[in-house]
Structure 1
């Protein structure tokens, strides 16, 4: 072993509870070393002294490892009162702030960390990477942390193997503890194999519901589904537009199928609090609740949600152990598992006549005084103004436009029409002005990046703007553009949006889908509000203004404007007439190829990039909407919000009017599809 004196100690801060737990596991394999302070310290196999010097306010396990260390974060919400109230507080904070959390940057700098561990998957669960990076700057200047040699490491576990192996190996590499990581991984694998040997066949898979949050109702997925399946069960609930969980309407939720086991494991809440939430919930006021087999057979369990199921750490194996025995109704070996079995037979439903129906709140109308404060702040180019009612600092539309991104937090003055807000219930803002939605920093390569320059280069520099409806013709035009544009060419998508509906006119594609497609492609998109009653002159002026906005943002000239039209001469002629005065070359790369060849190319491209295509069923004179609704119900995919198409379906189906309907392209990572 190398001498400790030959290397400087590594000082570590973790602001992610699961990572803190993994780091504690790594430290358990180091050589203990006495320190004048209570800072957890150890010497690694390589001889490096490692010290764990700081944590977040949520990092509470193991207690012996975390309790003596300073908490460097706080949250903006108040103490827990109820699921519904906490949900409202979170939404309220996100409408005015970019994060639920604040960081004590001064104390963090005093701790002189070499590594700070965080995550960039969820802004609710713990402080995210973007907030941390912004907090490490004061008045736009680098702080003591960001000016030094501190590295920020992001750990984003999404699967059971991430929790037991991949994230541990990654931390081991980043913290110079690879040997210790190997030991911890081996320990996890040994225990997992031991548990697998206890799994005996069940007569039939047990249908399981795991409730992550009570109001609104969120059901577990992700590694929870892996655990349930491994134990011999089937987790009920489907992935949707919410990452790692799905909110179900109570009216359509647990009433759709019988359930054998209900687990209430509310994120961040202990068992007594969760029992209280269950007893007071709207869920058990539903008549359908009492028809469930799990309720009738007293198979409802409340598990401590602060320690089990929600943190991707080796303690997931404790949850797996409990699941294996609970599904088989055999005694659980560990008496310490934090679970309460609820005697659901003593709960009585409130008579239906007195149960108030859930009312969907209407979009709030801002107070005129607030509107005036906001108007003045924007006129003075201020980033924030103070809400005269609440005293909160609220981000202005002016500032949000400068950022060129929709953070997805349903900000009060979001100018992007809440285009990246995943929860449909929170999408309140409509597009009012033309906006430039840039590509996010540090984004992975776009789904079509591999096409760049594949054929002879036609365009060598400048900006190419592709009119993007979200459908297959737009996709094929974009393919041609990327294949024939050099590396120096900037490609931008442009979409006209009906501001009254936040959808692409005629195509029935939402602006949120357009933004999600652009994110998958890693391309900027310009959203242009155009009302249906806008004339040709107004339409042309709106597009011309949007092109000027692109040039101002990218500081380069738009050299070509691209359309996906393929075989409708009247549409092509209309575009050439309408855009004759915009001063840019028009390009129709699909023109003259033929519908059959375009389809063939499209399916080859979809196979190459793992994309799918659905029919949006937009109403048209040929009755395509009714055709799909009445005759092709089996094609409907709720997650995609459309009728799924295939090459065979398109080639063999007699669509109304010959062409059928409009389409939407689904990329592999779009809305978690």
Structure 2
């Protein structure tokens, strides 16, 4: 008998699909929107408040709940509701700090849902793609300073897995350390960092919204003072779909890394086809 799985985290849903577990998914959060054919799967959360539909969760009777300590739904709420069910499900809480943690999470999800062999095969493929991209990075050439924006008002720079990806791709990200949480930064600190490249990838925003955020940045007093703007080199500023790329620690983080390597090292042929990016 197949496992019954509820995912309250978009990246966890993508990991589940990656290990061939689409047939196991019986419930999801409203933010779990990939792949596109999940519309038939009941949603346990709705809107910005992300309140958990506890009665629906009980009705779905999951064997496994995929979530995160700082996910869409409070971890204590998930634990409380799960414990109250007739057959309490196993809770798998994910909290990756690097792309290697994501590879480990893929194995954890596979083991939890009975698809360990599939997870192992997928992990080997994803790791191979990562290391193949690394081969194109010259570690002896100083790379550009990158400003990676996860929010624009207030201004927040990327954390968790993103700084280490930037560094592995051959660039620098001095405004935040690898593994540290995303953080708000002062404009003075941004100007002091003197970024040669800028990525605008606000969490949860698609490209249309990112264009609007970019336009708002261009109207600020500090934006024209950035080397990336003053030098006016082609493709120095990248606008990326922040709803689906970089901000979800799932299998497509490898796509994001391949794009980073291509962009930083001027190797367009390495970029994944159809990667959601526009340049300024």
User: Does the alignment reach a TM-score above 0.5?
Assistant: yes
**Does the Cα contact within 8 Å between 1:202 and 1:232 map onto a contact in 2?**
no
**Deviation (angstroms), 1:201:** 5.1
**Deviation (angstroms), 1:239:** 4.9
Distance 1:330 1:192, change over 3 A: closer
Aligned to 2:98: 159
Q: Does 1:119 align with 2:68?
A: yes
Unpaired runs of at least 5, structure 1: 1-7, 29-39, 42-50, 78-99, 343-673
Alignment of 1:281-360 (within 5 A): 281=217, 284-286=219-221, 288-296=222-230, 297-298=232-233, 299-332=236-269, 333-342=271-280
Aligned to 2:75: 129
Alignment of 1:491-510 (within 5 A): none
Higher relative CO (Cα under 8 Å, sequence separation at least 6) belongs to 2
Aligned to 1:272: 208
**Deviation (angstroms), 1:200:** 3.6
Q: Does 1:52 align with 2:45?
A: no
**Deviation (angstroms), 1:291:** 2.5
**Deviation (angstroms), 1:19:** 0.7
**Does the Cα contact within 8 Å between 1:199 and 1:324 map onto a contact in 2?**
yes
Q: Does 1:62 align with 2:1?
A: no
| Separation in 1, partners of 2:125, 2:139 | 26
- SS state at 2:142 partner: coil
Unpaired runs of at least 5, structure 2: none
**Does the Cα contact within 8 Å between 2:96 and 2:161 map onto a contact in 1?**
no
Aligned to 2:160: 222
User: How many residue pairs align between the two structures?
Assistant: 276
Q: Does 1:103 align with 2:52?
A: yes
Instruction: Encode CA deviations 1:522-541: one digit per residue, 9 max, x unaligned.
Output: xxxxxxxxxxxxxxxxxxxx
Aligned pair partner of 1:19 in 12, 35, 38? 12
| Separation in 2, partners of 1:201, 1:284 | 36
**Does the Cα contact within 8 Å between 1:221 and 1:237 map onto a contact in 2?**
no
Name the TM-score, length of structure 2 as normaliser.
Answer: 0.91
**Deviation (angstroms), 1:74:** 1.8
Larger Rg: 1
**Does the Cα contact within 8 Å between 1:208 and 1:262 map onto a contact in 2?**
yes
Distance 1:237 1:194, change over 3 A: same
| Separation in 1, partners of 2:275, 2:101 | 23
**Deviation (angstroms), 1:156:** 1.4
- RMSD over aligned Cα atoms: 2.2
**Deviation (angstroms), 1:11:** 0.6
**Deviation (angstroms), 1:243:** 5.6
**Does the Cα contact within 8 Å between 2:146 and 2:199 map onto a contact in 1?**
yes
- SS state at 1:157 partner: coil
Q: Does 1:72 align with 2:44?
A: yes
| Separation in 1, partners of 2:19, 2:268 | 32
**Does the Cα contact within 8 Å between 2:147 and 2:157 map onto a contact in 1?**
yes
Instruction: Encode CA deviations 1:488-521: one digit per residue, 9 max, x unaligned.
Output: xxxxxxxxxxxxxxxxxxxxxxxxxxxxxxxxxx
- SS state at 1:10 partner: coil
Name the TM-score, length of structure 1 as normaliser.
Answer: 0.39
| Separation in 1, partners of 2:205, 2:79 | 28
**Deviation (angstroms), 1:328:** 2.2
**Does the Cα contact within 8 Å between 2:196 and 2:228 map onto a contact in 1?**
yes
